[in-house]
Structure 1
Amino acid sequence: MQAIQRTWSNSKVRVNGKTRQMQWRDMFDIAVKWRRIADPDQPVLWLDQMPARSLSRGFNNHINLIRGQIINIRYLAYFDKILNFIKDRILVYHGAYNPRGLLEVRQALENVDKVEDLLPIMKVIRNNKILTPRNSMIIDQDVCSDGVYLCYLRVGNMLFSVETQTTEERTQQYQSEIESIYKDLTAKGKALMLSTELGDADAVCNLILSLVYYFCNLMPLSRGSSVVAYSVVMGALMASGKEVIGRIPKGKLVDFEAMTTHSPDSFSKTAKNWMNLKSLPLWYQSLPSVAETFQTTRTMIEVLNTDSTSHCPKKS
């Protein structure tokens, strides 16, 4: 986090002996490199940098919520939210393609309390996939990129899952959005350093969270997108003079919160309630540089495996 904070504050990176302006991927890549060191057995790859042959076919991230009799309790807190979203999208579908049967479907949905109850209604949607659309925030308000697919398949052996399809077109749409947000964030971040207005700090915070919102929906990494995203949030907020005091509520997940929220504004409001932001203490500026303190892979692995319980407050 401090490495991200220091790098973004300077807005410059050194690559292959040359210094250039920092881009959004450079900021995320700092967290990616630390994630690789934290668990070398699990490769963390940028999906758009995979071989062209693999990229042309697309890469799907697949998360099973229910598979047969097995329920993934990690995502249990989101079942009701996802179910309600599916019900809303079914109404949109029937409103467009089956307006005469809309009233009947609406009445049937009132009796849906669990995923299994959707079976008779979902039969009319051939591929049993419901897309969560993501509207552009900056580039074009009318542009709508693919979000995630909420899949409900296999009547005999039920499979209820969340899937992202990382195609070249979808990746380009999201990266264009992220690049625009990052450009705005960099400009407002520099202005914040010369300002004491609370509104400026709040605008920077919203842009940081919006950046992460689209990153989570893109899911550009083979694994670890959530922890990388939240590390970037904390590091970028530190660069803007804020620190995260609060904790993520039990049962909540950063990536799923972004994927099941309809807009970056809604995601920002929720995340800020969790984080309980405070101004950085003055002594923070005297902390040594991460790069100077942990110069070797060994020291990086050691600090990642340090028990920090005694240094963390018991209550957020």
Structure 2
Amino acid sequence: MVAERKAGRKVLTSTGGSGDDAQHAFGWRDAMDLVVKWRQLSEPNDQVVWVDLLTRKEFEAGFGSHTPIYSGQTKCVRYYMNFERGFSLFKDILIKEGHSFDASNNPVPLGGDQKRADIAAAKTAEELWQVIGVDSWAVVHIESCSRAGHSMEGTRLTLVKLRNQPDAYEFSIRTPVTPPRWQDYDQELSVMWEATMAALVDGDLPLVAQSALRYAYYWYNFMPLARGTAVVGYITLLGLFMAAGMPVTASIPKNYQDVLSSMRHRLEALNGLTAPRI
């Protein structure tokens, strides 16, 4: 594809997982769908599908991922290493915005100096739930790279009291994918994909690294697959670096089960790069 662009030829395709067979320029979704097809074949028992290709009812309802970090008396082995960071971020958002959202997506006011102080002082999921008083969630906003001043909905940090279990609470990450959110990320990923391709064509390795990492960062916040988003994003990231002639040889850092958690730190390691804030 890069060779075709260098030669000044447009790359067209009629596939790409969108369900639309019309011929179009090869874009981010066409590239990701190649890896999605591999993921579908590698684990045929998993339902690896694009969320926007589910039923309209499921898509519009916000079908998404659910990743428990702490549930009841269980520290989820794969993700608990992110509890302190996620819990601290959740409290910061509550204090800054002055509200959370309940299960019906209605705002739950958290005003008052005392309540904010109690939120800041909470050290466990149970203590924080008792301060809020209801099951609730907060949005982690991230900044757009292509639209100055535009904020996007990243993931949701969620705190609920488990039913039929005394003194049991769950702190988790949930990422619902709705049509408006899909349009938002589609625009962002389109811009970042083109930036990555342009950098590859120009042979600008620092810019390739910057654009590829940003692209992967938005992909992980997007979570557009019913299953397999993590590995599809990671394989794509490794592929982009290999295409640039600089294969990644380092392992994922210790205590980071998922790539998203370390993406910001890798971005900041690049000279002169400011990572998207979360």
Do the structures match in fold with TM over 0.5? Answer: yes
Aligned-pair CA distance for 1:247: 0.4
Q: Matched residue of 1:253: which SS?
A: coil
| 1:149 has 2:156 as partner | yes
Q: Paired residue for 1:212?
A: 216
Q: Paired residue for 2:191?
A: 180
Deviations 1:59-115 (CA, angstroms, capped at 9, x unpaired): 12111222222221110110111011012112203399666x33x345435543332
Question: 1:272-287 to 2 correspondence within 5 Å?
Answer: none
Q: Matched residue of 1:148: which SS?
A: strand
| 1:114 has 2:113 as partner | no
CA distance in 1, matches of 2:23, 2:149: 37
Aligned-pair CA distance for 1:116: 2.6
Given that 2:125 and 2:170 are in contact with CA atoms closer than 8 Å, whether structure 1 keeps it comes out as no
Q: Paired residue for 1:294?
A: none
Which one of 122, 127, 144 corresponds to residue 136 of structure 1?
144
Q: Paired residue for 1:67?
A: 71
Q: Paired residue for 1:268?
A: 267
Aligned-pair CA distance for 1:120: 3.0
Q: Matched residue of 1:146: which SS?
A: strand
Deviations 1:128-154 (CA, angstroms, capped at 9, x unpaired): 11110122111x222222111111112
CA, structure 1 residues 43+98, in 2 after alignment: closer, same or farther (shift >3 Å)? closer
Q: What letter matches 1:183 in structure 2?
A: E
| 1:223 has 2:227 as partner | yes
TM-score by length of 2: 0.79
Question: 1:51-130 to 2 correspondence within 5 Å?
Answer: 51-94=55-98, 101-102=112-113, 104-105=114-115, 107-109=117-119, 111-123=121-133, 128-130=136-138
Unaligned runs of 5+ in 2: 6-10, 16-20, 101-108, 271-278
Deviations 1:274-312 (CA, angstroms, capped at 9, x unpaired): xxxxxxxxxxxxxxxxxxxxxxxxxxxxxxxxxxxxxxx
Aligned-pair CA distance for 1:157: 3.5
Given that 2:159 and 2:169 are in contact with CA atoms closer than 8 Å, whether structure 1 keeps it comes out as yes
Deviations 1:169-226 (CA, angstroms, capped at 9, x unpaired): 011101111001112222222111xxxxxxx311111100111111111100111111
CA distance in 2, matches of 1:169, 1:209: 24
RMSD: 2.9
Given that 2:70 and 2:80 are in contact with CA atoms closer than 8 Å, whether structure 1 keeps it comes out as no
TM-score by length of 1: 0.70
- Percent identity at matched positions? 24
CA distance in 1, matches of 2:55, 2:120: 47
Q: Matched residue of 1:247: which SS?
A: coil
Unaligned runs of 5+ in 1: 1-6, 193-199, 273-316
Q: Paired residue for 1:287?
A: none
Q: Paired residue for 1:277?
A: none
CA distance in 2, matches of 1:39, 1:202: 35
Q: What letter matches 2:123 in structure 1?
A: D
CA distance in 1, matches of 2:60, 2:23: 33
Higher Cα radius of gyration: 1
Give the length in aligned residue pairs. 249
Given that 2:49 and 2:226 are in contact with CA atoms closer than 8 Å, whether structure 1 keeps it comes out as yes
